[in-house]
C-alpha cells in the first residue's frame, strides 16, 4: 500500500507520468480460535493465525474490549496472535 503514488520517467525535454494504486488484500483467519476448557485457577491460551503478519488484533470477551493486565496478556508473533488468561474463574467462561 505504501508504494501507491505518482511515478514519472523524465528524459529532459519530456516527462511521462503514471499513478500506481495498490489494493491491500484482506486479512483472513488461517486458523480460527478453538473452544477450550480449563480448571479454575489455571491459565488458558487462546491462539489464532492470520493471513498477514503484523495485523492489529483486538481481543474481546462478549462485547467488552480486553486490556492488557495481570489477568490478560496479549502476544503476537508474525501471523500468530495469542490471548493468555491467568487464574481463570467461572466468570471468564
Over residues 11-28, the pLDDT tens digits come to 999 999 999 999 988 999
Query: Domains of the chain: which residue ranges?
Result: 28-90
Q: CATH for 28-90? A: 2.60.40.10
- Closest to 58 in 3D by CA, of 28, 92, 81: 81
- Specify the pTM: 0.76
Q: How far is CA 85 from CA 8, 53, 62, 78, 91, in A?
A: 53, 23, 15, 21, 12
pLDDT at 11: 94
Q: What is the pLDDT of residues 40-63, one digit of tens each?
A: 999 999 999 999 998 999 999 999
Q: How far apart are CA 60 and CA 54, in angstroms?
A: 18
What DSSP designation does 51 have? Answer: S
pLDDT recorded at residue 1: 82
**Edge-to-edge strands of the sheet including 29-31?**
29-31, 44-50, 80-85, 72-77
Amino acid at each position: 500500500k505504501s508504494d501507491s503514488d505518482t511515478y514519472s520517467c523524465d528524459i529532459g525535454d519530456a516527462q511521462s507520468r503514471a499513478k500506481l494504486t495498490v489494493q491491500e488484500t484482506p486479512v483472513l483467519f488461517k486458523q480460527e480460535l478453538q473452544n477450550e476448557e480449563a480448571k479454575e485457577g489455571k491459565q488458558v491460551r487462546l491462539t489464532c493465525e492470520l493471513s498477514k503478519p503484523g495485523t492489529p488484533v483486538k481481543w474481546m470477551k462478549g462485547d467488552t474490549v480486553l486490556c492488557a493486565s495481570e489477568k490478560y496478556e496479549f502476544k503476537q508473533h508474525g501471523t500468530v496472535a495469542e490471548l493468555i488468561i491467568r487464574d481463570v474463574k467461572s466468570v471468564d467462561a
